[in-house]
Amino acid sequence: MTVVKKTVALDPIIDRYVRMLQAVLIEKGYGVSYSATLNYMLLYSALDLAHREIHPKVARLQDEFLSGRKTIGEIEREWAGSRESRGRREASQPQNQTDQEMCPS
C-alpha cells in the first residue's frame, strides 16, 4: 500500500461518517483503523460509480459544495430530510437483505 505522508483536511461531515462506518465495521468484527475505513468508503464509492451513474441530486450537491453556493450545514440538512423520507418508505416494505448483503466484506 502506498503511504503518503501529507496532512489531509476532512470536512466534519466526512469525518463523522468515517467514524460511524468504523464503529459499524468494528461491531461486525473487523479490526479496521480510521485510515482503512476511509479507504473502504472511497473504494466503495469509486466502484459503485463505475457500475452506475451518479444520481443527479448528488451531482448537484457536489457542484454546489465545490463552488461554495451551499454550506455544509445546508447540504447535511437536505440529505437528512431525504434519508428520513427514504427510511419511512423502507420501513413500510419487507426487509429481505441480510447483514452480509448490506455490508459485504
**Residues 70 and 46 both lie in one domain:** no
**Residues 25 and 60 both lie in one domain:** no
Q: Which residue matches cell numbers 483536511?
A: 9
Residue 68 lies in a domain: yes
DSSP conformation letters of 36-96: HHHHHHHHHHHHHHHHSPPPHHHHHHHHHHHHTSS-HHHHHHHHHHHHHHHHHHHHTS---
Residue 32 lies in a domain: yes
Confidence tier at 23 by pLDDT (50, 70, 90): very high
Residue 101 lies in a domain: no
Res. 96: pLDDT tops 80: no
Residue 1 lies in a domain: no
Q: Which domain holds residue 61?
A: 53-93
Residue 99 lies in a domain: no
**Residues 42 and 77 both lie in one domain:** no
Residue 34 lies in a domain: yes
Higher pLDDT, 102 or 36: 36
32-54 pLDDT per residue, tens: 999 999 999 988 888 888 888 88
**Residues 47 and 60 both lie in one domain:** no
50-85 pLDDT per residue, tens: 888 888 888 887 777 777 766 666 767 776 777 676
Indicate the pTM of the whole model: 0.53
**Residues 25 and 41 both lie in one domain:** yes
* Sign of the CA dihedral running 25, 104, 77, 66: positive
